[in-house]
């Protein structure tokens, strides 16, 4: 199908898997925060989990973006260095994920809630009645069909590089975006983090 007012824009329906190499993460920040900005380094742990190779950082001046203030970073080496620098913590994290996975497999429902409270540690809880599943039935069935239930995640140590690889057959995304942590489905949607009607990109927020 084509856009009626233009002969240059053509949209074709289709679907397919997007290669991990084509995935990027985008963050925007006000120019007032450009000096000594730590946005990229702060995002590396989250991007390590997602194995996203490209990071785009764009600075704006009261909502106006200029091409020279948009930078595309190849962060493969940054992610590899972070992993090496945090090798012991990564090993603990992998062991924790496997422990939770093994526990879930022993439950009848095959699902639990994981909750963390400072001072008390992690809590594994059975979901109460009426809680909607995280994934729709169609997607759940698709994942179940792609995985062998008798084969756990393969955790390998690369003795040559000292780096670790988690191979579950898929490039799964199990991180929660920082921007979604405080999302409230019942609240008024405000995509600028300011007043939707009066936002002047004052620079007081992180956007």
Pairing mode, if any, of strands 24-30 and 54-61?
parallel
Tokens, residue 74? 């190849």
Token digits of residue 113: 């809630």
* pLDDT reported for residue 149: 45
Could you tell me the mean pLDDT of each successive run of 10 residues in the chain, 207 residues long? 59 78 91 90 92 93 92 94 95 92 87 86 84 83 64 40 37 36 41 46 48
| Token output for 135 | 């994934």
Alpha helices in the chain (DSSP H): 39-50, 76-85, 87-106, 137-146
Q: What is the pLDDT of residue 187?
A: 45
User: What is the per-residue pLDDT for 110?
Assistant: 81
The conformational region for residue 16 under phi > 0 = left, psi -120 to 50 = alpha, else beta, is left
| pLDDT at residue 147, as a whole number | 52
Interhelix angle for 39-50 vs 76-85, to 10°? 80
CB neighbours of 147 closer than 8 A, spacing ≥ 6?
168, 169
Two tokens, residue 196: 């939707």
Give the pTM: 0.55
Q: What is the pLDDT of residue 5?
A: 60
Query: What does the pLDDT read at residue 191?
Result: 43
- Alpha-carbon distance 182 to 14, whole Å? 33
Per-residue confidence (pLDDT) for residue 166, from 0 to 100:
35
Find the angle CA(203)-CA(72)-CA(178) to the nearest 5 degrees. Answer: 55
44/50 Cα distance (integer angstroms): 10
Structure confidence at residue 30 (pLDDT): 92
pLDDT attached to residue 6: 59
């Amino acid at each position: 199908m084509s856009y009626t007012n233009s002969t240059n824009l053509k949209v074709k329906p289709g679907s397919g898997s997007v290669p991990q190499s084509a995935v990027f993460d985008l963050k925007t920040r006000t120019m007032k925060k450009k000096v000594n900005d730590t946005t990229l380094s702060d995002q590396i742990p989250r991007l390590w989990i997602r194995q996203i190779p490209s990071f785009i950082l764009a600075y704006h001046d009261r909502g106006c973006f200029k091409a020279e203030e948009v930078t595309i970073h190849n962060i493969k080496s940054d992610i590899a260095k972070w992993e090496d620098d945090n090798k012991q913590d990564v090993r603990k994290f992998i062991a924790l994920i496997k422990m939770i996975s093994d526990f879930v497999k022993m439950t009848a429902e095959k699902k639990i809630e994981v909750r963390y409270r400072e001072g008390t540690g992690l809590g594994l809880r059975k979901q109460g009645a009426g809680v909607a599943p995280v994934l729709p039935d169609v997607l759940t069935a698709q994942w179940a069909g792609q995985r062998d239930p008798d084969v756990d995640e393969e955790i390998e140590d690369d003795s040559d590089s000292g780096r670790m690889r988690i191979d579950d057959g898929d490039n799964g995304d199990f991180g929660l975006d920082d921007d979604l942590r405080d999302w409230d489905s019942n609240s008024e949607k405000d995509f600028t983090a300011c007043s939707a009607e009066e936002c002047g990109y004052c620079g007081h927020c992180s956007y």
